[in-house]
Structure 1
Amino acid sequence: MSTNTIVVLVAFVVYMGMMILIGALNSKQSNNEDYFLGGRGLGSWTAALSAQASDMSGWLLMGLPGAIYAAGTGSAWIAIGLLIGTVLNWFLVARRLRKYTIVANNSLTIPSFFENRFHDKKGVLKIVSSIIIIVFFAVYTASAFVSGAKLFANVFGTGADDNTAYVVGLAVAAVVILIYTLLGGFKAVCYTDFIQGLLMLVAILAVPIIAYISISGDLQGALSAKGVADPAGFLSLFKNDTGSNLTVKEIILGPAGLGWALGYFGMPHILIRFMAIKSDKEVKKSRVIAIVWVILSLGAACFLGVVARGFLNEDLIANGKKELVFIKSILQIFDGNIFLVFIGGIFLCGILAAIMSTADSQLLVTASAVSEDMFKGVIKKDASEKTSLLVGRIAVVVVAIIAFFIALKPNPSVMELVEYAWGGFGAAFGPIILLSLFWKRFNLPGAVAGMIVGFASTVIWDYIPLFNMVDAEGNAIRTLKQLTGVYCLVVGFALALVVAVIVTLITKKPSAEIEEEFDKVNTVEI
């Protein structure tokens, strides 16, 4: 092992040790509300940075810059969509969801909110939503594990194609995340997310700026020197990777389009942060902090992808390693004395921060769905707090193991895993959350129908083979996604919304008690 590698390893050990220490210091929870919701005591800064750090994951530092690096600025529509979604989520959902979950029998989880909102005595919504959480978070957590494995393999091994280094990196990332999630619960996750959110922001801002200075600010010249045939087209927001003009359909409905904005309304690991904020006043502060963080981080990630195409000394597209843009840029920039290498190691921890801040949140939400909603809510309603917490911790381990094996598949893509999980959650939960918060007439049958349709449509759209065709370039067309080029989230969200509204209108309206609770949310100050 070289001196540089040892120095970077020291930086990683120091960072991971800090995260585990925070988990240990927050390891005492007296009940499920403490473990899963932190006693509803999050301040503005912690809530904002925890929500956004858990949102972005390794996708921010690997998937997005890699997409821009390969296809140009035309892929930045995802980032614009996410910014729009962030703003709408904080202004429309955050404050009202926090209040409604308190009014609705102090709901601690998203499934329990659905149950309490509709007075679902049979627990149908709770069971359906818990299953959806387990399925999509297994995929989402796998994307974080893949990011961690690629990071460790390329920094400490011989590359992501070195299977031994990849598997070892995967195991290390999974173990560290598991340790402090199991130890600390929600508070530990949020406090570590706060630190990780700051580190992610510093790293993603600093690296592209340094790279830009290194090419003397001549971006078009650097792109041309590295073989980009049309630098102006590469820098255009309205060109695709072939240099053709993007269509309105691609910009709005495509997998790299504005449709990503719809996903925010259905992300349990983000929504749970809204529920945990301690006051209305803190919500207003949090949304300003969160929106500024998102503007800076998404803008810098896109800038990194563009600059790296003219800065890096190797072609990551030809090598099939476009998602290593951030890692390779850091290794190329901070290649000098030991001090520089250590700083580079700290910046590489930014990727680890992004990975850990999302995976821990997802595992914790999954644990709450299993222990609080399925076990204590349906299977054994008289279970003690201690037993319920134990079941939750076991669920964390089981889901992490499933995610580990998903991440073992050959050459997994962070971008593709996140795209599917984001689409699944957005379609299944997004319309139901919005209608639950803002439509008094919305009822239980409509919620169940909409949720099932949203979930099923994303699975069918992306994975069920319905065709046996080839396109003009000889690519196989098997699914609706391949046939239409439309993102499953857009289709699933629209179908779920329409079905939920129609079923609600043709079935019995909610009880007077449910309507009174809805009205109470409009007037109560909590």
Structure 2
Amino acid sequence: MEVQTWTYILVGVTFSIYIGIAFWAKAGSTKEFYVAGGGVSPLANGMATAADWMSAASFISMAGLISFMGYDGTVYLMGWTGGYVLLALLLAPYLRKFGKFTVPDFIGDRYYSQFARTVAVICALIVSFTYVAGQMRGVGVVFSRFLEVDINTGVYIGIAIVFFYAVLGGMKGITYTQVAQYCILIFAFMVPAFFISMQLTGSPIPQIGLGSKIVGTDIYLLEKLDKLTTELGFTEYTTGSKSMVDVFAITAALMFGTAGLPHVIVRFFTVPRVKDARISAGYALLFIAVLYTTAPAVAAFVRTNLIETVNGQAYSEMPDWFSKWEKTGLISFEDKGADGLVHYSGNASTNELTIDPDIIVLANPEIAQLPAWVIALVASGGLAAALSTAAGLLLVISTAVSHDLLKKQLKPNISEKGELLAARISAAVAVIMAGYFGINPPGFVAAVVALAFGFAAASFFPAIILGIFSKRMNREGAVCGMIVGLLSMVFYMLRFKFNLFGPTTPEDWWFGISPEGFGMIAMIINLLVSITVSSFTPAPPITVQEMVEHLRYPKGTG
């Protein structure tokens, strides 16, 4: 069968599973809609957390970034993985013990302020909408190539599917859908990695293949890749071009941003006990490690195959996958030399090939000439990754509006049925807005997601970490810190990412730090403002201080 036929079959089967789970796990109460009733097992929650966190950026874009950026691209690998460890150790158990539905819920109660809750809602909406734009863009990329529709139509299809199971099932439906999506996305990511590792290095384990010699030669894979890239005018693959300051800043921003992501934090409210939150965090880390330890190998494999497949070849004789990706606009050729040959180069004046990093993982099995069913499997895995995270983000947006704004502030006497209806309506509106951002994204998937992590680091992380470990931190400090941190990040992004105040170059960056890394600076600003303001304003009430102290002690210690 052809790739498109296989794609229709596999995508149809997986979508049927998602819809079936949504019917089976339909939420009947606000607790089921917000936190799946609080009864999810640690193993299931670990798989759901992994799927929720490993978004389109992890599945589709991260290996592509490493493939093109080489050593520099590993900042995403280190930042996202390190951030999860930070979240699992420092935040998850304490927030589960607090026992609320959302991050704004924690901030509103911990800082005894409705205004603090409102600021947290605004931060949650900004982070979630920025993040979800990348997911919907990922959905559009997959559909545009494998179902041969334009990207916008692909986004519309993705909206319809997410709308169905997110609005109907809430967190209960999303949780069990994400368990299925994890199984699909990890299988889809690993199968071509096994095949290609065997082809290139003779080792079926990609992690070992990355450090092995190429079959039939005495040359190591990375040694050959370094030679290929430098010959074409690119930076040596295993040597970075970014400054150490920027590498550190991006890694830190991604780490602290991960620990402040509301759609990941809420996952730890779905288990019955604090102990289960710790166990599910451990499971999730193991499940995440499977993909994250494989991504560098996939990046090196596809970079090697891509260069050898396209460079110096006649454009008229390009393989079938090349012309199909050309139709999506994500790869393009300009015959500058008028010789009919494709010249791929690191020199902008002579380079004739433009490749979007988002296609690398999706095109990987086609470039390696793997069977049609493997190519279709990767498509279904990419959709699973994007849809799982999109659903989690949409739930955060929904609960921020229905629970934190409506129930906690505007209409405290609203019935449970009314609140559930409001949650579903706000989820529906959020899906539509997410579709708009997917059609008009501010960049490629991983870059957009990196900005979302910067917003989370700049706003939530200091408020949460100080709220858990500092009895002296008060509402004035937390609110001022969140506002100043978020505004710092917004200004820097508008100034240097979107050039709102005039053209800029990397030489204009403050301290040599890129917009993706400025979240670290904004987080430090937030911390300094929070601590300074709280030092000059009244201490929190005794009841709040006792609550903070109670959070930090395990049950049964007295």
For residue 197 of structure 1, what is the aligned residue in structure 2? 182
Tell me: CA distance 1:228–1:191, structure 2 relative to 1, closer, same or farther (3 Å). Answer: farther
Deviations 1:325-372 (A, max 9, x none): 111113345654xxxx23432332111111011000000111000001
Q: How does 1:139-150 map to 2 (within 5 A)?
A: 139-150=130-141
For residue 104 of structure 2, what is the aligned residue in structure 1? 111
Tell me: CA distance 1:174–1:467, structure 2 relative to 1, closer, same or farther (3 Å). Answer: closer
Aligned equivalent of 2:514, options 485, 488, 494: 485
Q: Which residue identity is paired with 1:131?
A: I
Question: How many Å separate the matches in 1 of 2:262 and 2:84?
Answer: 14
Tell me: CA distance 1:212–1:222, structure 2 relative to 1, closer, same or farther (3 Å). Answer: farther
The answer to whether the Cα contact below 8 Å between 1:45 and 1:194 also exists between their aligned partners in 2 is no
Per the TM alignment, residue 151 of structure 1 is displaced from its structure 2 partner at its CA by 0.5
Per the TM alignment, residue 198 of structure 1 is displaced from its structure 2 partner at its CA by 2.5
3-state DSSP class of the match of 1:72?
Answer: helix
The answer to whether the Cα contact below 8 Å between 1:265 and 1:433 also exists between their aligned partners in 2 is no
Question: How many Å separate the matches in 2 of 1:93 and 1:230?
Answer: 46
TM-score with structure 2 setting the length: 0.83
Per the TM alignment, residue 404 of structure 1 is displaced from its structure 2 partner at its CA by 1.6
For residue 66 of structure 2, what is the aligned residue in structure 1? 68
- 2:366 pairs with 1:331: yes
Q: How does 1:355-434 map to 2 (within 5 A)?
A: 355-409=386-440, 412-434=443-465
Tell me: CA distance 1:524–1:410, structure 2 relative to 1, closer, same or farther (3 Å). Answer: closer
The answer to whether the Cα contact below 8 Å between 1:222 and 1:311 also exists between their aligned partners in 2 is no
Q: Which residue identity is paired with 2:286?
A: V
For residue 117 of structure 2, what is the aligned residue in structure 1? 126
Q: Which residue identity is paired with 2:299?
A: G
Question: How many Å separate the matches in 1 of 2:144 and 2:9?
Answer: 16
Tell me: CA distance 1:40–1:411, structure 2 relative to 1, closer, same or farther (3 Å). Answer: closer
The answer to whether the Cα contact below 8 Å between 2:3 and 2:375 also exists between their aligned partners in 1 is no
Per the TM alignment, residue 141 of structure 1 is displaced from its structure 2 partner at its CA by 1.1
Per the TM alignment, residue 396 of structure 1 is displaced from its structure 2 partner at its CA by 1.4
3-state DSSP class of the match of 1:215?
Answer: helix
Tell me: CA distance 1:194–1:516, structure 2 relative to 1, closer, same or farther (3 Å). Answer: same
For residue 264 of structure 1, what is the aligned residue in structure 2? 258
The answer to whether the Cα contact below 8 Å between 1:23 and 1:184 also exists between their aligned partners in 2 is yes
Per the TM alignment, residue 251 of structure 1 is displaced from its structure 2 partner at its CA by 2.1
3-state DSSP class of the match of 2:412?
Answer: coil
For residue 5 of structure 1, what is the aligned residue in structure 2? 4
For residue 470 of structure 2, what is the aligned residue in structure 1? 439
Question: How many Å separate the matches in 2 of 1:405 and 1:300?
Answer: 33
The answer to whether the Cα contact below 8 Å between 2:134 and 2:441 also exists between their aligned partners in 1 is no
For residue 248 of structure 1, what is the aligned residue in structure 2? 244
For residue 23 of structure 2, what is the aligned residue in structure 1? 24
The answer to whether the Cα contact below 8 Å between 1:445 and 1:503 also exists between their aligned partners in 2 is yes
For residue 88 of structure 2, what is the aligned residue in structure 1? 90
The answer to whether the Cα contact below 8 Å between 1:82 and 1:261 also exists between their aligned partners in 2 is yes
Per the TM alignment, residue 210 of structure 1 is displaced from its structure 2 partner at its CA by 1.7
Per the TM alignment, residue 185 of structure 1 is displaced from its structure 2 partner at its CA by 0.8
- 2:162 pairs with 1:168: no
Per the TM alignment, residue 483 of structure 1 is displaced from its structure 2 partner at its CA by 6.4
Question: How many Å separate the matches in 1 of 2:511 and 2:441?
Answer: 21
TM-score with structure 1 setting the length: 0.88
The answer to whether the Cα contact below 8 Å between 1:252 and 1:258 also exists between their aligned partners in 2 is yes
CA RMSD of aligned residues (A): 2.5
Tell me: CA distance 1:485–1:108, structure 2 relative to 1, closer, same or farther (3 Å). Answer: closer
Aligned equivalent of 2:552, options 519, 522, 526: 522
The answer to whether the Cα contact below 8 Å between 2:105 and 2:117 also exists between their aligned partners in 1 is yes
Identity %: 23
Question: How many Å separate the matches in 1 of 2:156 and 2:259?
Answer: 32
Per the TM alignment, residue 12 of structure 1 is displaced from its structure 2 partner at its CA by 0.3
For residue 501 of structure 1, what is the aligned residue in structure 2? 531
For residue 46 of structure 1, what is the aligned residue in structure 2? 44
For residue 160 of structure 1, what is the aligned residue in structure 2? none
Question: How many Å separate the matches in 1 of 2:171 and 2:513?
Answer: 41
For residue 179 of structure 1, what is the aligned residue in structure 2? 164
317-326 vs 145-154, greater mean Cα deviation: 317-326
Question: How many Å separate the matches in 1 of 2:243 and 2:77?
Answer: 17
Question: How many Å separate the matches in 2 of 1:139 and 1:508?
Answer: 35
Q: Which residue identity is paired with 1:285?
A: I
Aligned equivalent of 1:37, options 35, 38, 41: 35
Tell me: CA distance 1:224–1:525, structure 2 relative to 1, closer, same or farther (3 Å). Answer: closer
Tell me: CA distance 1:360–1:169, structure 2 relative to 1, closer, same or farther (3 Å). Answer: same
The answer to whether the Cα contact below 8 Å between 1:211 and 1:311 also exists between their aligned partners in 2 is no
The answer to whether the Cα contact below 8 Å between 2:18 and 2:177 also exists between their aligned partners in 1 is yes
For residue 296 of structure 1, what is the aligned residue in structure 2? 290
The answer to whether the Cα contact below 8 Å between 1:55 and 1:270 also exists between their aligned partners in 2 is yes
Per the TM alignment, residue 284 of structure 1 is displaced from its structure 2 partner at its CA by 3.2
Per the TM alignment, residue 403 of structure 1 is displaced from its structure 2 partner at its CA by 2.0
Tell me: CA distance 1:379–1:430, structure 2 relative to 1, closer, same or farther (3 Å). Answer: same
Q: Which residue identity is paired with 1:37?
A: V
The answer to whether the Cα contact below 8 Å between 1:148 and 1:355 also exists between their aligned partners in 2 is yes
Structure 2 spans left out of the alignment, 5+ residues:
202-212, 215-220, 312-330, 332-343, 345-352
Tell me: CA distance 1:17–1:495, structure 2 relative to 1, closer, same or farther (3 Å). Answer: same
3-state DSSP class of the match of 2:257?
Answer: helix
Per the TM alignment, residue 426 of structure 1 is displaced from its structure 2 partner at its CA by 1.9
Question: How many Å separate the matches in 1 of 2:458 and 2:261?
Answer: 10
Per the TM alignment, residue 463 of structure 1 is displaced from its structure 2 partner at its CA by 0.4
How many residue pairs were aligned? 494
3-state DSSP class of the match of 1:319?
Answer: strand
